[in-house]
Amino acid sequence: MDDKKKKIVTFIGTLFVAIMFVGSYAAFNNNSGNSSTSTATTTVQGGATYFVSGNANAVVIGYSQLATISLESNSSALSSRASNELAQLQNNGSISNYVAQGNGFQIFTQNMNAYRLQQALVSKLGGSNVSVNASTSFSLPKILPLIYRNQIVDVKLTNTNFTAPTSPLQDIGSNVTVIVHALVYANGDIYNNQITITT
């Protein structure tokens, strides 16, 4: 084989190798790109939670329409008096309905909130004879100084309105002291925005 033919064969071989190299490089880059776009992301958790509790000043902002009356004795006379008073309140539209339940009644209020119902029954039946319970809506401050192992933690509320059953009831707008329990993160954020209130 003369030199001219050798040069042609060498050139063709070199060109073939170059084409294979470029093709392999392009395929590698394409696979690499697909790999980066399908990388899974990891969700960062909020970290450890801590149980905190303490007192807080709350404002009464409303009551549920369902209230429960408990009579302090099994006297049939007292039960009859209570039933008569509730019938009058239903007739004038203050309550929508009432149902006897155990040693008391369940009442559905209408134009009278649960606090006013309590006051009306206490004035007619006597404070020692009757108690009224209802779910109370409270408004709390946006930041609560609660306690974790004798240390104060400023707990931040994203929702400041909460409910809890109470008795005796306070007038709307009244300031009351409530006990708050919560699980919080180290930065003071509430876990799942859930707290427990007792009075």
> What are the pLDDT digits (tens) for 31-45?
444 333 333 322 334
Residues 6+ apart with CB under 8 A from 174: 59, 60
Average pLDDT, rounded, for the chain: 82
Q: pTM of the entire structure?
A: 0.70
Give the per-residue SS3 of the chain: CCHHHHHHHHHHHHHHHHHHHHHHHHHHHHHHHHHHHCCCCCCCCCCCEEEEEEEEEEEEEEEEEEEEEEECCCCHHHHHHHHHHHHHHHHCCCEEEEEECCCEEEEEECCCCHHHHHHHHHHHHCCCCEEEEEEEEEECCCEEEEEECCEEEEEECCCCEEEEEECCCCCCCCEEEEEEEEEEECCCEEEEEEEEEEC
Instruction: Yes or no: say if 82 and 123 are a contact pair by the CB < 8 Å rule.
Output: no
List 57's β-bridge partners, or say none.
177
Q: How confident is the model at residue 18 (pLDDT cuts 50, 70, 90)?
A: very low
Residue 177 scores a pLDDT above 60: yes
Residues 6+ apart with CB under 8 A from 159: 193
* Cα–Cα–Cα angle for 173, 178, 180, rounded to 5 degrees: 130
Phi, psi angle pair for 13, to nearest 5°: -65, -45
Give the per-residue SS3 of 148-175: ECCEEEEEECCCCEEEEEECCCCCCCCE
Report the percent of the chain where pLDDT is more than 70.
Answer: 77
Residues 104-146 have pLDDT tens digits of 999 999 999 999 999 999 999 999 999 999 999 999 999 999 9
